[in-house]
Amino acid sequence: MAKKEVRFFLVVFSVCLSLTITGCGLQALLGNKNKTSSTTGGTEKVIAVSLNQEDPNKLLITKGIDELAKKDNVQVKYLDKSIAGEESPLKGAKVLIYQGGNASLLKSAETDKIPVLALSQLPIGVKLVGIITPDQEKIGELMAQTLVSKVAEGQVVILQGDPSDTGFQERLAGNKAVLSKYPKIIVQTIVSSPDSESVAKQGLVDFLQKNPGKVQGVLAYTEKLAVIANDVLKQAQLDKKIILVGGQASIPSLDRISSGAQAGDVDTSPYLQGVNAYQWAQKIINKESLDVADSITSDQGEIPAKIIQVKVVTPDNLALIQKSYSKTLQSAEQAKKQTEQTDQAAKSKDQSKDQGQANKADQSGDKTGASSGGQPDKSSALPSGVKTVTERTKTETTREYLDAQGKVIGTEKTANEQVKTVPPEMLKQQSEQSKDATKDQGNQSASDKGTGGK
Nearest 5°: the CA angle 376, 381, 383 is 155
What value does the mean pLDDT of the chain take? Answer: 80
> Tell me, what's the pLDDT at 30?
33
d(CA 142, CA 145): 5
pLDDT exceeds cutoff 60 at 373:
no
Which pLDDT tens digit goes with each residue over 323-372?
Answer: 999 999 898 888 878 777 776 766 666 666 666 665 655 555 555 444 44
> Tell me, what's the pLDDT at 338?
77
pLDDT exceeds cutoff 60 at 149:
yes
Q: 427 and 303, same structural domain?
A: no
Q: 318 and 297, same structural domain?
A: no
Which pLDDT tens digit goes with each residue over 19-76?
Answer: 333 333 333 333 333 333 333 344 578 999 999 999 999 999 999 999 999 999 999 9
Domain count along the chain: 3
Helix (H) / strand (E) containing 109: helix 104-111
pLDDT exceeds cutoff 90 at 207:
yes
Q: 248 and 190, same structural domain?
A: yes
Q: Note the pTM of the prediction, 2 decimals.
A: 0.67
Assess if residue 74 is contained within a domain. yes
Which pLDDT tens digit goes with each residue over 393-407?
Answer: 666 666 666 666 666
The three-state secondary structure class of 190 is: strand
Query: CB under 8 Å, gap of 24 or more: what pairs does 348-357 form?
Result: 348/398, 348/400, 348/408, 348/411, 349/408, 351/398, 352/398, 355/398
> Under the phi-then-psi rule, with left for phi > 0, alpha for psi from -120 to 50, and beta for the rest, what region is 208?
alpha
What pLDDT band is residue 99 in, cutting at 50, 70 and 90?
very high
Report the candidate in 273, 340, 355, 265 with the shortest Cα–Cα distance to residue 97: 273
Q: 328 and 219, same structural domain?
A: yes
Q: 200 and 332, same structural domain?
A: yes
Which pLDDT tens digit goes with each residue over 279-315?
Answer: 999 999 999 999 888 999 988 889 999 999 999 999 9
Q: 141 and 129, same structural domain?
A: no
Which pLDDT tens digit goes with each residue over 110-136?
Answer: 999 999 999 999 998 999 999 999 999
Full domain range(s) for residue 219: 136-268+311-338
Assess if residue 184 is contained within a domain. yes
Strand order in the sheet with 185-191: 185-191, 154-161, 215-220, 243-246
Higher confidence at residue 143 or residue 166?
143
Q: 387 and 261, same structural domain?
A: no
Assess if residue 445 is contained within a domain. no
CATH assignment of the domain containing 101: 3.40.50.2300
> Tell me, what's the pLDDT at 395?
66
